[in-house]
Amino acid sequence: PMENFRRMSKAETEAEKKTAQKEFVRDVKKHIEDISKKYILTDEGTIDYALMYIPSEAIYYEVVNSDTDLVDFSHKKRVLPVSPTTFYAYLRAILMSFEGQKIEQKARDILSAIRAIQKDYQKVDENLGILNKHVGNAYNMMAQVATSFSQLGQKISSTSAIGGGTQDKAEQIED
């Protein structure tokens, strides 16, 4: 495209300029098409757009400002023209996008871990409820057994007293 750009810039007549401009646009479109086919391979893991570095600000402005069809074509092909001035800004935006994706992935991982913790909490809560019920039942059963044991002890004591009192009277009679 550089050669046709120079011809377009140095053209003396309007017809020469128009011819050179058409050839320039054709060359740039071919370049955009080549970049799109060669570098945008999403099946192979590339991102779905490419940057077309234009090393001259003048050519960049010609590509971006002179022909809206050229800009529309580049957007349709997912090729973004960049100049020395805009290249850094595009790279920073892409970097920020990747960092945002990393943050988003980490947030998903954290939410997944929290959901797993919630499930574990619910299981432990359920198990604690069952254990509490068993401990309560065991406590109540122990209280019942203790009461029964105490009553049994009282009965044994009262039976001893009855038997002991009879034995004492029998001993007194023998004397």
For 17-67, the pLDDT digits (tens) are 889 888 999 999 999 999 999 999 989 988 899 999 999 998 898 888 876
**Which residue, among 24, 43, 36, 28, has the nearest Cα to 79 in the 3D structure?**
36
CA distance 59 to 1: 9
Digit-coded pLDDT (tens) for 98-151: 899 999 999 999 999 999 999 999 999 999 999 999 999 999 999 999 999 999
Greatest C-alpha distance within the chain: 160
Collapsing DSSP states into helix, strand and coil, what is residue 51? strand
Q: CA–CA separation, 80 vs 82, rounded Å?
A: 6
